Amino acid sequence: MGILNITPDSFFDGGKYKDEKAILLQVGNMLKDGATFVDVGAYSSRPGAKHISEEEELSRIIPVVELLVAHFPDILISIDTFRSQVAKKCIEAGAALINDIAGGDLDDKMFDVVANLQVPYIVMHMQGNPQNMQEAPKYENIVTEVFYELSKKVEKLNTLHVHDVILDVGFGFGKSVAHNYELLKNLDYFQQMELPVLTGVSRKSMLYKPLDITSQEALNATTIVNTIALQKGTQILRVHDVKEAVEAVKIFGLMNAGSELDK
């Protein structure tokens, strides 16, 4: 899953894709490099990000969805939003799935809208909201607490006849660096739910802060953690750098192919 942030203040690529030419070039490159989905976001969810209105989010994202559908008819667009009406209008404009960082917590209509639309839904765990999530995240046992919260939501979604659900433990969303690595170490625990798992660690502070580097220098660390995530059952990698992630997936696939390679 390639990331397209059309926000002025995203932590890594904020403000880079401001016009149609830049957007089409970036998405074209991601698709050429092997992206299955393109995840479009118009609300920055970095820690402490500025809150914007639903109207502003819609004014940013709808024209981009329409632009991408017009230029890439076979594209699968994921919409990175926690607002049900933004999700609904983007799906109506041609998007294919919803990626909700709040897992329904910031809009109590989201689950019903997903049920009505009958589209795939990525349910992510977040403690708090983007404005306060990193102030003092606290857990007794992060792995079991995140598992419990996600399983409750999956159960609710299933009662609404939403069965195409993807899990995201929410690396960096209301978690300390130690919390993130505890989740990574136990990521295979989430296979118990028998649902696809998406991992989004691309260039995040959990990678660059311990290494004392910047997000611009965190591609190697991203690839390492993506590879660990694949080994622990992740089926979707959400990334800024599609080519390197596709290579990781291919190498991981070759390892699992084993003796089949020589046939």
Looking at residue 176, its pLDDT comes to 93
Within 13 Å and on the Cβ side, how many CA atoms surround 115?
Answer: 13
Average pLDDT across the chain, whole number: 91
pLDDT value at 9 more than 70: no
The pLDDT confidence band at residue 19, using thresholds 50, 70 and 90, is: confident
Catalytic residues: 204, 238
- Per the DSSP assignment, residues forming a β-bridge with 79 are 40, 98
What is the share, in percent, of the chain residues with pLDDT greater than 90? Answer: 80
The pLDDT confidence band at residue 11, using thresholds 50, 70 and 90, is: very low
Angle separating helix axes 142-159 and 110-117, nearest 10 degrees: 50
pLDDT value at 50 more than 80: no
Q: How many C-beta neighbours within 10 Å does residue 207 have?
A: 24
Write the DSSP symbol of residue 141. Answer: S
**Average of pLDDT values for 61-66?**
94
**How would CATH label the architecture of 2-255?**
Alpha-Beta Barrel (3.20)
Claim: this prediction has a pTM higher than 0.95: no
How many helices (DSSP H) and strands (DSSP E) are in the chain? Answer: 9, 8
Cβ–Cβ < 8 Å for 120, 95: no
Going by C-alpha positions, the residue among 28, 52, 33 that lies closest to residue 41 is 52
**Average of pLDDT values for 60-70?**
94
Cβ–Cβ < 8 Å for 15, 51: no
Domain ranges of the chain: 2-255
**Average of pLDDT values for 154-165?**
97
The pLDDT confidence band at residue 89, using thresholds 50, 70 and 90, is: very high
Lowest mean pLDDT among 3-17, 146-160, 229-243, 245-259: 3-17
pLDDT value at 14 more than 60: no
Looking at residue 127, its pLDDT comes to 86
Looking at residue 44, its pLDDT comes to 77
Going by C-alpha positions, the residue among 205, 201, 216, 220 that lies closest to residue 1 is 201
